[in-house]
A and B are shown apart, each in its own frame.
Chain A
Amino acid sequence: MSEMDRARFEELMDSYVLGALTEEERLEFEEHLASYPERQSEVDELSATAGLLALYPEEREPPEDLRGRIMHVVEAESPERPQQAERRTVFGRLGELLSARSLALGAAALLVVGLFSWNMVLRSDVQELQSRVQEMQVSRDARMITLEGPGLEQGAHVELIVAGDDRAILMAENMPPVPEGKTCMIWVIDDAVPKPGGLFDPKPEAVAAVVEEPLGGADAVAITVEPEGGSPQPTTDPMLSAEL
């Protein structure tokens, strides 16, 4: 938009502050405003009048859980969040542990369980996890993979710790709540075929779960929301996933 005369500016201004311009007109108007910043105060004044309409609707109390959902994300993103450092410590220590060549397997298993039982909520009980961890071959090939996807926007942080023999533990934190009757399901995807890898309950606290399907040769790991008890095939799009 090159030039907009005063009459055109005034003609569009009312619709602009009400949000009623077409996209083209809005761009035209804002381009003009950028060129004539002295007219901004006029627009602000009329916007204040139009903004009064926001106070017109009948008052409604927002649902209590809406605050919790929003603050869950906000606190996860806040740089002041105290548990952030703690989480890194746990993940970091576990990563070091799994790559520690000199560590005896039994001691490693105990340490893993010690870390988890310290402040984590386990899908299964600690003893079960301990026995599964003891089966895992701990070597310098162990690696940590961060899952990505839409779940990140809700503050979820999920890492997969893959041991040398392609068995893995999934650690999830700040998982968004799922509807009643639903749970999170892990999938190991091999040649585009998703294989069930276990279930875990999403919680704001840290959750650990052993991936029940070996990862050998698999292409990716994904998490979907499924009915309690799991599904034979994914029924929703992955909220988080990682290529292996």
Chain B
Amino acid sequence: MANKGRQYLLYADEDLMSLVEGGDAGAFAALYDRHSRAAYSLAYRMMGEKQAAEDLVQDAMLKIWRGAGSYRAERGSVRTWILSIVHNRGIDQLRSLASRRRTQEKVEAEAPRSQPSEAFAESWRNSQREQVRAAMRTLPPEQLKILELAYFSGYTHVEIADMLDLPLGTVKGRMRLGLQKIRAFFDSRDLAVPQ
């Protein structure tokens, strides 16, 4: 059993997904160990507190366990798929909350913090994380705020326009410019967009 556990460490994410689809709990544990930190970090950022973040990760992870067959490698990496499930479930939960505790202040209070050089030393995954943060730092605050309100707080573009008292077209335009700028950051450094 211990040998099998060690063997999982050698498998690529896509191979683990095939095993998970066949009901292999050990393969799922290996996937959890690889990606739970990123999943929990995203969940915490979206939900804003520990218990709700734990519930969201549990909900998403069990969806992944039960729906492993719906993963399509041609659509992106396993990590992207896992994080997209956490994100989509998080948006569903935020939108179904009876009282929305999300406020503009919350977004401002949780403004990005940079964690410079030490991240580079840890692993290539952390290196990617740092690249993403660097890309975000190139965004003008008004674009960053709109991306955050949409992606992390689950507001629709219509709600964001109302909240910030901006025309809907302006909100859409800033979303587009923000995404283009992130893409351009990677293109300009000959970096592939992490999948």
* A-to-B contact residues, CB < 8 Å: 11, 14-15, 17-22, 44, 46-63, 66-67, 69-71, 73-75, 77-81
Contact = CB atoms under 8 A, between A and B. Distances in A.
Given A22-B156, A80-B24, A56 B179 contact: no
Nearest to B29: A71
B182 interface: yes
B113 A58 contact: yes
A67 B83 CA distance: 17
Nearest to A66: B54
Contacts of B147: 18, 53
Interface string B143-171: 00001001110111110100000000000
9 smallest CB-CB distances across A and B, nearest first, come from A57-B45, A62-B40, A20-B150, A78-B25, A54-B83, A18-B150, A79-B23, A14-B175, A55-B132
B25 A74 contact: yes
B39 to A, nearest CB: 8
Contacts of B24: 78, 80
Contacts, number: 152
Contact of A74 (B37, B65, B126, B136): B65
B128 interface: yes
Contacts of B65: 73-74, 77
A60 B49 CA distance: 12
Interface of B: 23-25, 28-29, 32-33, 36-42, 44-45, 50, 53-54, 57-58, 61-62, 65-66, 75-76, 80, 83-84, 86-88, 91, 112-113, 115, 126, 128-129, 132-133, 135-136, 147, 150-152, 154-158, 160, 172, 175-176, 179, 182-183, 193-195
Nearest to B36: A62
7 contacts: A19-B88, A44-B75, A48-B195, A56-B45, A59-B41, A59-B115, A66-B58
Contacts of A20: 150-151, 155-157, 160, 175
A17 B172 CA distance: 12
A223 B163 CA distance: 46
A151 to B, nearest CB: 14
B133 A56 contact: yes
Given A74-B25, A80-B25, A49 B179 contact: yes
A52 B150 contact: no
Contacts of B156: 15, 20-22
B44 to A, nearest CB: 5
Contact of A62 (B25, B57, B91, B158): B57
B176 A14 contact: yes
Contact of B157 (A15, A55, A57, A60): A15
A73 B158 CA distance: 39
A202 B144 CA distance: 47
Interface of A (DSSP majority class): helix
Contact of A66 (B57, B66, B135, B157): B57
Contacts of A75: 25
A70 B36 CA distance: 11
A70 B151 contact: no
Contact of B42 (A46, A54, A73): A54
A170 to B, nearest CB: 26
A66 B43 CA distance: 13
Contacts of B182: 49, 52
A73 B62 contact: yes
B193 A48 contact: yes
A58 B115 CA distance: 8
A9 B48 CA distance: 33
Contacts of B155: 20
A26 B133 CA distance: 28
B23 A49 contact: no
